[in-house]
Structure 1
Amino acid sequence: MDKVTFTRSELYSLVWKFPLVQIAKHYDISTMGIKNACDKMQIAVPNNRHWNKLEYKRTKAPKLSSDYIGSNEIDVVKKRYEMQLRKPSKQTPLLDLVQKIEHESNDFLMVKNKLENPAKIVSDTEKYSNFLKENNHENLEILNLNISDESLNRALLFMDAFIKLIEYRGHRFQKNNKGNDTVLFNNGIEIEIDLREALKRITIEGKRETSKYVSTGELILRAKKESIKNEWRDGKILLEYKLALILAKLELIAAE
């Protein structure tokens, strides 16, 4: 796993039961990641002197604030992924826009673990995949996904977060006149979007040696505007953690 999910009560209990360094080592996360999570969830954290005292002399853990209205769960990225997500020191237009999106749209950058009030096209795609493959689906607008059944849920969760981020930024996700999934930017520019799963060719040994393609679980998002093509795929960083980067690049392309 590339992240650790804590509930507010779990995180509160941990930081008052163990030193941050010990928690960080156990979960393979950074102490800064823990502190940032506590700040976001309004959890007081004991200072280092707290742990130097005998247990009976330590400060009693304060009660959790009752006026907290944020999410009850938070993800902390593991250290090896945190290193990959660090930004280079040199500023570029792309990096500037990524940081702007992260600052202004932070609540829309998290891909959830289950669909909650999904976009209609995502909901229709789920219905079609689960129940209606053999039935009439003319009234359903379906995402153009080239995804195995095993990766479908992840693809739907990603696309739902992506579409909601697009709409929050003032753009629209729709079908173009060719029936392709498209982002319509607020300046009228359209960019086609294609989410698919990478395939791997394997050899089947038998009386006659043949081969076939199998799904890998690796997602690829492709974007096309006339002759301009871009692609993002799973690697050390999964697509779920590239939402700001992807949309920033698309907005820059649309602005050209």
Structure 2
Amino acid sequence: MPISDYDNVKEVRISRDELYELVWTERQSDIAKKYYISENGLIKKCQEWNIPMPNLKYWIQLKDTTNPPTKVPLPQYSGYDMVYLKLREDYEKKKESIQKKISNIKKEIEEDSNVNLKVPERLTNPDPLIATARDRLYKKEVYRKSQGIIHHNQGSIGIYVTPSQLNRALRFMDTMIKALRSRGHHFINQNGSAHLAIYGEDYRISCQEKERRIKITNEYGRQESQLEPTGRLSFRLGESYFRKEWTEGKIPIEEQVSKILASVEYRGRKDHEERIENEKQWEERRQKQLMEKEIQDKKEKELDDFKEIFKLSLRHDKAQAIRRFADKLEQSALSNNDLGNETQKRIEWIRKKADWFDPFIESYDELLDGIDRDELVLHKQSFYLLKD
């Protein structure tokens, strides 16, 4: 699973009490410079944790060492009170390293004579994926949104734009796809839509027109919000949390092909390397678990074997005790001149039961056949007798 480029940047754990002391000791701007958090984000976190914050008057009075201001006490709070903040310096170093790698890839792409980075004024000889998207979109085989966005990505590249931006989107995406193919990458069908396969990874890609939320008055005179197309195009790689997006601003998206292509290749390489490393770590953990399980299985077998020996030794000792009891019974009968036929039968019966119970003999006994020698329990059967 791919992770964020900045997930491995060092983090500092800060408790609610520590954050309270921090905001009353350092200004918000200084905290935002030290940690990767905006001043607005800091205010929201303090509001979430019910941490009072100093006003401007407090900082002015703080300069007066003879009469320093007092802090507002920290109220009680019962929620989770631990936040992890990245050090801005480490974050910026990571960002600089990433930008340098992307810049090197961009230079390599721009020097590659096989790659056309210029978006044409007209769509000519389109890539099959774009031709399919174009035919379906212009033939109105599309899904429509209430704000006029049209799209159709079944078996083709995802394009979500208003009709006025469709030609631009098709020309830009055609250039991107051809450039990706020239760089040795290809496309595969995943769940009915085309995905980019790059360095062993695959991503859903699309071109989307950005929207903004506006307030309108509905037919009942009530205020509500809706999305309105802006005319600005964006290129999206991936989905959900792991989605990366490039949006045009002052620079049209047609002039960002090499930059976007370099960023896409960087993302593919990074995700591939991380996946290989994750698989390596997973395999190491698996092998370690197998070894631990093997040792555990050996211990379990050793213990089971010992328990069996212990159980048999107890049975042998008890069998010997039964024999000693038979000998004592016989001696007592002789001493009392009472060794009659019934007593002799009783003593013989006891000795046979000792032989049945002894693990070294385990002689056959018709009436005890099927009885577990360790449990010595008769599992009774229910009988439903017919009446005479």
TM range (shorter): 0.5 to 0.7
Tell me the residue number matched to 1:183: 196
Contact map agreement 1:200 1:213 (CA 8 A) in 2: yes
- Please tell me the residue identity of whatever aligns with 2:110: E
Displacement, 1:226? 8.8
Contact map agreement 2:187 2:194 (CA 8 A) in 1: yes
Distance 2:222 2:243 in 1: 39
For residue 222 of structure 1, give the secondary structure of its aligned residue in structure 2. strand
**1:247 equivalenced with 2:261 (yes/no):** yes
Of 145, 152, 157 in structure 2, the residue corresponding to residue 143 of structure 1 is 157
Displacement, 1:225? 7.5
Distance 1:105 1:97 in 2: 14
Distance 2:243 2:224 in 1: 33
Distance 2:195 2:100 in 1: 26
Distance 2:266 2:127 in 1: 25
Tell me the residue number matched to 1:221: 235
TM-score by length of 1: 0.56
Displacement, 1:202? 2.0
Distance 1:242 1:101 in 2: 12
Q: 1:155 to 1:95 in 2, by over 3 A?
A: same
Distance 2:174 2:162 in 1: 17
**1:131 equivalenced with 2:139 (yes/no):** yes
Contact map agreement 1:166 1:247 (CA 8 A) in 2: yes
Displacement, 1:243? 1.2
Contact map agreement 2:159 2:207 (CA 8 A) in 1: yes
Distance 1:103 1:127 in 2: 34
> For residues 223-248 of structure 1, what are the alpha-carbon distances to aligned partners after superposition, in whole Å with 9 as ceiling and x for unaligned?
12896432100111122111111111
Of 100, 104, 118 in structure 2, the residue corresponding to residue 110 of structure 1 is 118
Distance 1:163 1:180 in 2: 14
Contact map agreement 1:190 1:225 (CA 8 A) in 2: no
Displacement, 1:106? 7.2
Distance 1:110 1:121 in 2: 19
- Please tell me the residue identity of whatever aligns with 1:204: I
Tell me the residue number matched to 2:209: 197
Displacement, 1:183? 1.2
**1:209 equivalenced with 2:217 (yes/no):** no
> For residues 38-84 of structure 1, what are the alpha-carbon distances to aligned partners after superposition, in whole Å with 9 as ceiling and x for unaligned?
xxxxxxxxxxxxxxxxxxxxxxxxxxxxxxxxxxxxxxxxxxxxxxx
Q: 1:242 to 1:124 in 2, by over 3 A?
A: same
Displacement, 1:204? 2.1
Unaligned runs of 5+ in 1: 1-87, 135-139
Displacement, 1:199? 0.9
Distance 2:189 2:230 in 1: 27
User: RCO (CA 8 Å, sep 6+): is it higher in 1 or 2?
Assistant: 1
- Please tell me the residue identity of whatever aligns with 1:94: I
- Please tell me the residue identity of whatever aligns with 1:148: T
Unaligned runs of 5+ in 2: 1-95, 143-153, 274-388
Distance 1:240 1:161 in 2: 9
Displacement, 1:124? 1.4
Q: CA RMSD in A?
A: 2.6
TM-score by length of 2: 0.38
- Please tell me the residue identity of whatever aligns with 1:144: G
> For residues 161-187 of structure 1, what are the alpha-carbon distances to aligned partners after superposition, in whole Å with 9 as ceiling and x for unaligned?
0000001111113332x23432112x3
Tell me the residue number matched to 2:174: 160
Larger radius of gyration: 2
Distance 2:257 2:114 in 1: 10
Displacement, 1:194? 2.5
Report the structure, 1 or 2, having the larger helix content.
2
Identity %: 30
Displacement, 1:205? 3.0
Report the structure, 1 or 2, having the larger strand content.
1
Contact map agreement 1:180 1:193 (CA 8 A) in 2: no
Distance 1:212 1:229 in 2: 24
Displacement, 1:142? 3.0
**1:231 equivalenced with 2:222 (yes/no):** no
| Number of equivalenced pairs | 161
Distance 1:95 1:171 in 2: 20
- Please tell me the residue identity of whatever aligns with 1:165: A
Distance 1:94 1:142 in 2: 28
Q: 1:121 to 1:100 in 2, by over 3 A?
A: same
For residue 165 of structure 2, give the secondary structure of its aligned residue in structure 1. helix
